[in-house]
Structure 1
Amino acid sequence: MAAFGAAAVMTGVAAAAPAAAADNKISAKVSAQVADGGTTTFWVMLRGGDDLAATRKATGKAKAGAVYRDVRAGANRDQAGLRTLLGKRKAPYQAYWIADTMRVTGNAALLAAVAARPEVKAVLPDEPVKLPAVQAGTAQAEVSSVEWNVDRINAPRVWSERGDTGAGIVVANVDTGVQFDHPALAASYRGRNADGSVSHDYNWYDPSHTCADNLPCDNSGHGTHTMGTMAGADGLGVAPGVKWIAAKGCESNSCSVGSLLAAGQWIVAPTDRAGNNPRPDLAPDVVNNSWGGGSGFDPWYSEIVSNWVGAGIFPAFSNGNNGPICGSASTPGSYAATYASGAFDVNNAIASFSSRGFGQDGAVKPDIAAPGVDVRSSVPGGYGVYSGTSMASPHTAATVALIWAAAPALRHDIAATREILDETAIDTDDTSCGGTAADNNVWGQGRLDAYAAVTLAVSPSGSLAGTVTGEGFPISGAAVTIGGRSLTTAADGGFRFARLVAGNHHVRISAFGYDTFEGDVSITAGGSARLDAALTTSASAVLSGLLTSGGSPVPGVSVALTGTPVSVTSDSGGHYRLAAPFGSYEVVVHPAGGCASGVTRQLTLSGDQTLDLELPLTSDHYGYTCAAATEGYREGDQLLALTGDDSAASVTLPFSFPLYGVAHTQAWVGTNGLIAFDGASTSFANTDLPLNTEPNDALYPFWDDLYVDAAAAVYTASTADTFVVEWRNVMFFGDATQRVSVSAILHADGTVTYRYRGPVGERATGTSATIGIENIGGTDGLAYAYLKNAVRDGSGVTLHPPANRIAATFNVTMTTVWGQNLYVVGSIPELGQWDPARAVPLSAATYPIWSASLTLPPNTAIEFKYLIKNADSSWAWESTSNRSTVTPPTGQYITHDTFNQH
């Protein structure tokens, strides 16, 4: 596991076992910072934690007090020994109870002593978290003197029809600060007294003392903008009747770990401006967090969020601005315990930058979508229009305030409130990143509707559950619709509406391949109604066939009918079989990774039919392909000093190993099943390939959150032209019952084989792993499998570099603005054949020079151009004529171009 948004890179090399265990806790970056007698500030993560037993018994505002007492007592207990050590060494430190961690300053000797303590889990560098970059927007027309975004979620209807503006609820943000006397926010600041004076104690906190005289300020504008969307007056904010407080967790456009932790503590137990005399009874009801780290799951802030939830404080987060890539939800928005918002625009279209899920443990993220493009709100000294998921999350946070003001019994009931938001969101179908029409990784539960949420919260309600079957078997994915709200049945055919307004409702149930069911049901206040439906099968036929690639059967391939829920997987012999009603269909054949590419065919099904298909081989831009391995599993014979969690060790290769045209003689082997060539990587949060986030320039034999315990080991073996890395009997972090052995065989010609032996447990089949190869910029790669059941005992895959090709590198100098990326596209298939959707992405690793490496056919005439993809997904081509060349018969082809000049 890693923490604090950065890879915890550890050396994994030591002489004695106890020393090795201590060294494995220390980030390589921290070790480097204390080399040659230097000192540095680092973070010490302890193994403590509290089950919040007292909190579960508390209710209402008392929950925050229970969390404060329980968690603080646990931290004092867990940190006692380390505090004694640091006191004796006279080492400066700051302890935090909210996450059971300490910030320490010291030298190598102190570092070693700290890491040797058994209660210490990890020692990590002190690195800031950057705020998600927001874009300047264009002002949109108001709707009846209300900003478009506020009107779009139907907040004005809540004010006018319910008389609810959020009065009695306190919202907070952890952000860059807030201009407390801004005309749109001054009246709603909790620190403003009836006589017009202000009291900042317990209402404002600046742990870094960035603001002059410790008075509220916002030196970025970000926090004032997000607070305006929550609490702003004059049609600016969703809940203008709330009171607000703020913690400056971000010094500017970046946020130090210390400030974010201190702000997290203050939210549970606000203090005076000096940080003393905590009062959990003054904790806010809702906290908005329009900040986050990189894509993926990093648990560093999870204890803070869990403690907020335990205190009954609703944790609203932005989902990140890393879209449109799937799997780009950012930490902490990706946590299951947070409620994260994606962003849409005035046309109800998802923003291209809005991060897509999945989240922690495969959960759907975002949870909901809210307006986040061209949002006008307050900024220091005036008003500004910004775009980002930072702008979306405050809408959700403020809607919670409206719900709790209208239904006080729900105040601090986070689970019930999430349920209301989920069930009243306007379903928006986009399964391009997974999920269902009603709950997917682009929109979450759908578009936020504040009026529907408040209406459901205050209405007498009951629940409805049932099971949908056909021919006696459960039907998964059936659509159950009641009064404009819909959901789909689970794998067992079950469905449940947790909250329906009391009264009579008409129910419509439809499923592909079955006749539609319609009926009525009565819901009573506090009651639990049930409706089971048995659907009648429509007339259908069977489609079957054999899938091959390179003349060999292809197992594990998805065969689906577009626009229907029908999807099957080919068996071990490449055969598939499915049933569908009579009609015309588009058959989409999509391998789940593997070495074959998908195909699409049109057919009309009027009776049983056979359709055999040959699938083309998969290739990345560079020309790597793969095939079933023919060489056997190779064991290592040299033990590598690599144990424990999230560590890496350097190895010297016996030959120059070529990867994407770059030769390597050194590599770093990680415990998490990867071999990196551009520096050590211990990332456990594996992603699909390619992806331009770290790690890159690597082989991924079995990238997952692995752990080398006493029953496991990592070995190497080498000959003049072969190098082997073997992860033998490694376990999965936190689960010693699931294990796998992996052999990676590197050949001097660039060919690499991955072989697998003795997998035990579902995860050992690859259901949470990445298997493949990737270039140095993360712009090109070949994923054999990603989160797929692709490994069995004795299986293997060989990845082949291209033959009869020349290495090509495109370099172009171009200065861009935020959200822009460069591509190259040209006249041959390797360059996309002038199709921008198939253009080759260029890496900005050496910005302003953008680069990409691939292979091209030798002695071939080509034409090409560079083009820009903007944040809104539009394309801008070079205005000059096409570039042209003839690739050399041997060697390399390299460009050194300037955009729009040649």
Structure 2
Amino acid sequence: MHLPRSPRRRSAAWAAAAITAAAVLIGPAPAFAQSDTTTRSTAEVDPSVLDTVGKGKDSTFFVVLKKQADLSAAKGGRTHAAKAKSAFAALRAKAKSSQQPLQSFLDKEKVGYQSFWIANALKVTGDERLVEDLAKRADVASIVKEHHYALDATESRVSDAAGDSDPVTPEWGVKDIKADQVWDQYDDRGEGIVIANVDSGVQYDHPALKANYRGNNGDGSFTHDYNWYDPTGQCPTSAPCDNNGHGTHTMGTMVGAGGVGVAPGAKWIAAKGCESSSCSDSSLLAAGQWILAPTDHTGQNPRPDLAPDIVNNSWGGGDTTFYQDIVEAWNAAGIFEAFASGNDGDGVTCSTGHAPGSQAPAYGVGAYDVDGKIADFSGFGPSRLDGSMKPNISAPGVNVRSTWPGNTYKAISGTSMATPHVAGAVALLWSSAPSLIGNIDATRALLNEGARNVGDTHCGGTADANNVWGEGKLDIFASVDKAPHTAAVVTGKVTDKATGSALSGVTVKASGSDSNRTVTTSADGSYRLTLPAGTYDFALGGYGYADGARSGVAVTTGEQVTEDFTLTAVASHAVSGTVLDVTGKPLAKATVQVAGTPVAAVTTDSAGRFNLPKVAEGSYTLTATPAAPVLCNGTYNGKLTVDGDETLTARVPARSDSTGNSCTPAAYSWIAGSGKVALSGDEDARTIALPFPVKLYGVSYSSASVTTNGLINFMEPRLGDYENVALPSADKPNGTVAAFWDDLTLDKKSSVQTSTTGTAGSRKFAVVWNNAAFAEGSSGRVSFEAVFDEATGAVSLQYQSVPGSGASATVGIENQSGTDALQYSFDEPVLKDHSAIRIAQGTK
């Protein structure tokens, strides 16, 4: 997602020349009461959508399809990983098959969209006619407006100015739920469990969080792919960030070191589902998908086998069934979810809890203070949505001190602060009793049985379970006590074979037929695993050491097993070579590094050469990342096996977008225009017929709109798009080829022409801008063209004369929803006279 574009440079109010519909990012939605004005519809339409389009405006909404995936097979999976893989496969297959007819309809209508498999919905922007047409479709269940939800915390209540040092004793909430007793009496701190949050982000290198971030390689390096995801686009790099503080705080309560966290032995990952202080449907849905099937930082190559065990959600608002599909998908995948009940209570009024925590399938959490009194802001039940008892349980949520960005700590209040106590408690429970992992119903039952009853029945219920406290106050020690203690405990120490020194940060993985557990060694080289009875193969790995392994380790119920390991240090060697650009020329200033290792990155010299003087023997991935401007140069990722001094040549691939479109420099071959397009002046647009079908992001078009500002728009003719932006952008225009997007004007010396060359099947069609002037009075005139190739589907952008080298222009292509693009340049002086760029169509 991108920030809204900056204000227009001029005050004139420009309007679309002809509006059909465009699109934005992502989404699903719930069902709302049907309006009287849609009696012919088969779908329920959100009244707020009808209100907006009824005033002649476009509305952005989710189109939810009727067909939903059958997740029964996932629920029956034997392991958490099996459940997640099955749920992911079922959800994606159902979305792919059922969305195809609707996508074809939208493509025909020139309407952009983006789909979500987790809720089988598409996000669309359109007018009243489009809403009416969609509502009549037999495959559409509902049409719902996009909403935003508040991060659930009362942050103004209490704060402190704690320094960088960790607290030395457990925080009051940790002690109140008796997590410290689980640590002491069960020697259990959540080892082997992975916990996640959907929140504002996390300061991943906070001293209390850095060690147990799953992306921490244990040797000073980090791998963020599959461990962090930012669909909001707010973080400046691919590393985790938190521009609010809320997410860092909730993560600290779950897994923070030094007494702030309930399960400091668990690993964590995170998805930034909230832009800052609020969370959009689009970002929350993207985050929800990622939790079930984590991806790399581009959102590609999903891995449901890397899904977390537990996910915390300290956000919510409104009375809607939004996100219920996601909650049920997580539950089917064996992912335990916890949701804040909300902060709209007054200590008396009933039914003040909000969704998603107030939805029956969700595990909602209320808050109480250090004196054991329910917080006056805590949301009560029964649920306004379905009448279910809410909250499900209550936990410490007033004056909760936890981690905060800037390596500090802060005490704040809210059901947001209570919920991570529950999520962390489940990590303790599952670590102690691994037979429960992925068993949502049994886990909830144990939490409920262990809770301390509080008999406030003024909103209904009993002393055992009511709509103020739920099942009562969380007591994880009691729940662990009641759990099936069938696991064996395997402990040990990993040391250097030659010196006997303890090795920290070594990954220890135990793989069995029904269970796989992974931990890393602590500072003293020790590790601890709880495993169901069975036979396991152990695999160990750490930078600078040969891999270790031990097969056929049998453990029985309740057994205490010691498995120590020694690893042999390996030699180090020099790795040197040359990095070449996409054309095969030396690439200077590229960053070369051995991924996932502590080896310091180096930069190539003017001849593209690099040298890494000491790399330990082993197998790695070598990366070479071009310096800005990257142009058509992609990032090189190649296998590197070090068993002596190594010399290699790394040629970077053509840079591509998520759809697989890629660009390369091309031979300049100007095509002169022959037919004139009737464009003139500062702002003008004309629709032209194409001599053969042209595809953009997989959609075929027979016509396109050409503008004075160097744009070819396949969605609609528009005026006023004189202020170029970086691509992609959710703002219109979308579905474009930006040959040279700038504020241009056409006078008597200027023209726009077209030309078709070649024979059927191998024709080329050129749109040519001749001697266009810059509207703001810059000297010089620009001549450029876009050439479409019938045989290959490629588009070439050619530049005859480019004063200023494109320093104020955008060059590239963008998809129909503004969510994917291949941008060559944005306000960068990188274009040259008599040059060309070829963009090849992707296959995804």
TM-score, normalised to structure 2's length? 0.52
Instruction: Determine whether 1:317 maps to 2:342.
Output: no
Deviations for 1:720-753, whole angstroms, at most 9, x for unmatched residues?
Answer: xxxxxxxxxxxxxxxxxxxxxxxxxxxxxxxxxx
Q: 1:36 to 1:439 in 2, by over 3 A?
A: closer
Match of 1:337 among 361, 377, 389: 361
User: Which of 259, 270, 275 is the matching residue for 1:246?
Assistant: 270
- The structure 2 residue matched to 1:368, chosen from 379, 393, 409, is 393
Q: Counterpart in 2 of 1:131?
A: 151
Q: Which residue of 2 aligns with 1:407?
A: 433
Q: For 2:463 and 2:262, locate their aligned partners in 1 and report how far apart those are by CA, in whole Å.
A: 27
Kindly indicate whether the alpha-carbon contact (under 8 Å) linking 1:9 and 1:29 is maintained by their aligned counterparts in 2. Answer: no
Deviation at 1:143, TM superposition (A): 9.6
The alignment's TM-score, normalised by the length of structure 1, stands at 0.48
Q: Structure 1's 5 and 68: CA in aligned 2 closer, same or farther, altered over 3 A? A: closer
Match of 2:71 among 49, 52, 72: 52
Q: 1:406 is aligned with what amino acid?
A: S
Judging changes above 3 Å, is the alpha-carbon distance between structure 1 residues 460 and 93 closer, same or farther for their aligned structure 2 residues? closer
- Of 96, 102, 106, the residue aligned with 1:76 is 96
1:416 equivalent in structure 2 = 442
Question: Within 5 A, what are the aligned runs for 1:706-855?
Answer: none
Q: How does 1:230-245 map to 2 (within 5 A)?
A: 230-245=254-269
For residue 377 of structure 1, report the CA deviation from its aligned partner: 0.5
CA distance in 1, matches of 2:402, 2:102: 46
Distance in 1, Cα, partners of 2:434 & 2:327: 23
SS at match of 2:262: coil
The alignment partner of 2:205 has SS state of coil
Aligned to 2:82: 62
Q: Which runs of 5+ in 2 are unaligned?
A: 1-26, 488-556, 558-844
User: Quick check: 1:13 aligned with 2:37?
Assistant: yes
CA separation in 1, counterparts of 2:270 and 2:486? 35
Instruction: Work out whether 1:275 is the aligned partner of 2:299.
Output: yes
CA 1:261–1:143: 2 relative to 1, 3 Å: closer
* Counterpart position of 1:898: none
Letter in 2 for 1:373: V
The aligned residue for residue 30 of structure 1 is 49
1:227 match: secondary structure: helix
Residue 402 of structure 1 aligns to a residue whose secondary structure is: helix
Tell me, yes or no, if structure 1 residue 122 matches structure 2 residue 142. Answer: yes
Q: Distance in 2 between matches of 1:456 and 1:107?
A: 57
Query: 1:86: which partner in 2?
Result: 106
Separation (CA, whole Å) in 1 of partners of 2:307 and 2:30: 30
Are the aligned partners of 2:167 and 2:259 in contact in 1 as well (CA < 8 Å)?
Answer: no
Contact 1:5 1:293 in 2 (8 A): no
After TM superposition, give the deviation of residue 410 of structure 1 in Å. 0.8
8 Å CA contact retained: 1:354, 1:388? yes
- Say if 2:405 is the partner of 1:380: yes
Amino acid at match of 1:305: V
Cα distance in 2 between the residues matched to 1:261 and 1:124: 14
Give yes or no for contact 2:340–2:415 (8 Å, CA) kept in 1.
yes
SS in 2 for 1:21: coil
Letter in 1 for 2:245: G
Change (3 A) 1:5 1:36: closer
In structure 2, relative to structure 1, the CA distance for the partners of 1:138 and 1:125 (3 Å cut) is closer
Structure 2 CA distance for aligned equivalents of residues 137 and 457 of structure 1: 37
Contact 2:224 2:238 in 1 (8 A): no
Q: Could you tell me how far 1:8 is from its partner in structure 2?
A: 4.3
Q: CA deviation at 1:343?
A: 0.5
Return the alpha-carbon distance in structure 2 between the equivalents of residues 293 and 128 of structure 1.
8
CA distance in 2, matches of 1:453, 1:28: 45
Change beyond 3 A, Cα 1:350–1:300:
same
The structure with the greater share of residues assigned to strand is 1
Partner of 2:451: 425
1:834-862 deviation per Cα after TM superposition (whole angstroms, max 9, x unaligned): xxxxxxxxxxxxxxxxxxxxxxxxxxxxx
TM superposition shift of 1:338: 1.5
Counterpart of 1:204, as a letter, is W
Give the secondary-structure state (helix, strand or coil) at the position aligned to 1:13: helix
Matched with 2:216 is 192
CA distance in 1, matches of 2:70, 2:35: 33
Q: Distance in 2 between matches of 1:13 and 1:93?
A: 25
Match of 1:216 among 235, 240, 253: 240
Counterpart Cα distance in 2 of 1:414 and 1:182: 31
Distance 1:255 1:143 in 2: 31
Amino acid of the structure 2 residue aligned with 1:349? K
Higher mean alpha-carbon deviation, 344-353 vs 40-49, is at: 40-49
Q: Is the 8 A contact 1:48 1:119 kept in 2?
A: yes
Alignment equivalent of 2:325, drawn from 292, 299, 303: 303
Mapping 1:230-629, distance limit 5 Å: 230-294=254-318, 296=319, 298-323=320-345, 324=347, 325-359=349-383, 361-381=386-406, 382-459=408-485
Alpha-carbon distance, 1:336 to partner: 2.1
Cα gap change, 1:229 to 1:77, in 2 (>3 Å): same
Measured against aligned partners, the alpha-carbon deviations of 1:268-291 in whole angstroms (never above 9, x if no partner) come to 100011100000000000000011
Deviations 1:50-95 (A, max 9, x none): 2213213322111000000011111122212101111222311110
5+ long unaligned stretches in structure 1: 462-524, 526-902
Which residue is equivalent to 1:798? none
- Find the counterpart in structure 2 of residue 113 from structure 1: 133
Report how far residue 6 of structure 1 moved. 9.4
Partner SS, residue 44 of structure 2: coil
Q: Tell me by how many angstroms 1:160 deviates.
A: 1.5
For 2:30 and 2:137, locate their aligned partners in 1 and report how far apart those are by CA, in whole Å: 23
Deviation at 1:137, TM superposition (A): 3.8
Alignment pair present for 1:181 and 2:205? yes
Cα distance 1:281–1:152, how it changes in 2: closer, same or farther (>3 A)?
same
User: Partner letter of residue 444 of structure 1?
Assistant: G
Q: Measure, in 2, the Cα distance between the counterparts of 1:30 and 1:431.
A: 39
| Aligned equivalents of 1:329, 1:441: Cα separation in 2 | 10
Alpha-carbon offset, residue 144 of structure 1: 6.5
> Partner residue of 1:835?
none
Provide the C-alpha distance between the structure 2 equivalents of 1:201 and 1:366, rounded to a whole number of angstroms.
Answer: 35
In the TM superposition, 1:696-707 aligns within 5 A as none
Q: In structure 1, how many angstroms separate the alpha carbons of the residues matched to 2:47 and 2:255?
A: 44
- Name the amino acid aligned to 2:248: T
Q: Of residues 217, 227, 237 in structure 2, which corresponds to 1:203?
A: 227
Q: Does 1:149 align with 2:169?
A: no
Offset at 1:111?
2.6
Residues paired across the two proteins, number: 454
Whether the aligned pair in 1 keeps the contact of 2:91 and 2:117 (CA below 8 Å) is: yes
Contact 1:421–1:453 (CA under 8 A) maintained in structure 2: yes
CA contact (8 A) 1:143 1:151 kept: no
